[in-house]
Amino acid sequence: MRASQQSLLAWVEREVRRCRPLALRYFTSSSLRVHRKPDRSPVTAADRAIEERLRRAIQRACPGEPIVGEEFGVSGTLGSSYWTLDPIDGTRAFSRGLPSWGIMVGRIERGAPTLGLIDFPVIDVTIGVAPGVSAYERDRGSHAPLPRPRRVPSLREAVIFHGGAQWWQRTRYANGFARVVRDCYLERAYGDCYGYLWALRGCADAVIDHGVKIWDLVPLAALARATGRVLTDFHGHSSWTGPEAVFARPDVARLICRTLQRASTK
């Protein structure tokens, strides 16, 4: 597919929205079964079916372009440009009837995240960005730009979301995480892409995660760059490969990284 970035993003959004009926059919099915992958993370037939559908669409439209997906790994030879797919970000929530899961598609071009799209089928919300296309939210048909983050003078004034305390307990950052959530104004565990949606709406100042993968992060890296935020590891270095993630304004990210480092176990 040789197309402008605007038409490319519109095509991605159409293809992802076409996955909605499939996702929702599984979501409401009493026969849905959760299986465990070798790393013990959960997977369902919905994860596999949606990723297969999106892979076919990309391969038809962009023959030969590499794809990195959560369920089926790498297709093609990875270079400086490729696609990322997370068919259901939030499989645990999905399997328990919670609405916080989403379908994520990202694109790396010349070694940098450029396109990101996240669709939330249950709440009928889509967020996206691409070069030349301002980061936006489509909410039940209405279209609005995503706001820039607010200025936060200190960690004590920051609202911070995270994916859940259990992901930090066996890491060297357990003490640092405890310090961050103790010192901030408000902390909440809004896991998976759902927490990032609220951060991009301006309701949270940062999202911190541990244990995330490239397919979780590439769309968020593109959205961060387009909205005045950064996506970094816990040392403050730009990163979209995981397993660490801080998503915030640059100054807030530095505050969080400094706290995580100072309080972390040796």
Q: How would DSSP label each residue in 134-169? A: EEEEEETTEEEEPPPPPP-SSGGG-EEEES-GGGTT
264 pLDDT higher than 80: no
Residues spanned by the domain of 241: 155-263
In this structure, are 99 and 185 located in the same domain? no
Give the pair of three-digit tokens for residue 231.
């996506």
Do the domain assignments include residue 101?
yes
In this structure, are 59 and 187 located in the same domain? no
pLDDT recorded at residue 78: 86
Last residue of a domain, one of 125, 145, 165: 145
Greatest pairwise CA separation for the chain in angstroms: 50
The mean pLDDT of 200-217, rounded to a whole number, is: 97
In this structure, are 60 and 111 located in the same domain? yes
Do the domain assignments include residue 150?
no
In this structure, are 11 and 140 located in the same domain? yes
Last residue of a domain, one of 122, 145, 168: 145
Identity at 10, one-letter amino acid code? A
In this structure, are 141 and 9 located in the same domain? yes
Do the domain assignments include residue 227?
yes
pLDDT recorded at residue 1: 42
In this structure, are 235 and 202 located in the same domain? yes
In this structure, are 129 and 95 located in the same domain? yes
The percent of residues in the chain predicted with pLDDT above 90, rounded, is 86
pLDDT recorded at residue 141: 80
91 pLDDT higher than 50: yes
Identity at 106, one-letter amino acid code? G
31 pLDDT higher than 90: no
pLDDT recorded at residue 3: 57
In this structure, are 78 and 205 located in the same domain? no
Separation CA 42–CA 61 (nearest Å): 30
DSSP state string for the chain: ----HHHHHHHHHHHHHHTHHHHHHHHT-TT---EE-TTS-EE-HHHHHHHHHHHHHHHHHSTT--EEETTTEEES---S-EEEEEEEETHHHHHTT-S--EEEEEEEETTEEEEEEEEETTTTEEEEEETTEEEEEEETTEEEEPPPPPP-SSGGG-EEEES-GGGTTTSTTHHHHHHHHHHSSEEEE--HHHHHHHHHTTS-SEEEEES--HHHHHHHHHHHHHTT-EEE-TTS-B-SSSSEEEEE-HHHHHHHHHHHHHHS--
Domains held by the chain: number: 2
- pLDDT band for 265, please (50, 70, 90 cuts): low
In this structure, are 18 and 140 located in the same domain? yes
What's the CATH number where 254 sits?
A: 3.40.190.80
Do the domain assignments include residue 94?
yes
- pLDDT band for 266, please (50, 70, 90 cuts): low
Integer CA distances (angstroms), 156 to 103, 119, 186, 234, in order: 33, 32, 8, 19
In this structure, are 128 and 220 located in the same domain? no
Do the domain assignments include residue 67?
yes
CA dihedral (46, 44, 48, 162) positive or negative: positive
Last residue of a domain, one of 145, 166, 200: 145
In this structure, are 166 and 254 located in the same domain? yes
What's the CATH number where 103 sits?
A: 3.30.540.10
In this structure, are 168 and 225 located in the same domain? yes
Peptide bond into 113 cis (omega under 30): no
Separation CA 23–CA 32 (nearest Å): 11
Mean pLDDT of the chain: 94
pLDDT recorded at residue 30: 87
The mean pLDDT of 173-191, rounded to a whole number, is: 95
Do the domain assignments include residue 104?
yes
Query: pLDDT for 97-128, tens place per residue?
Result: 999 999 999 999 999 999 999 999 999 999 99
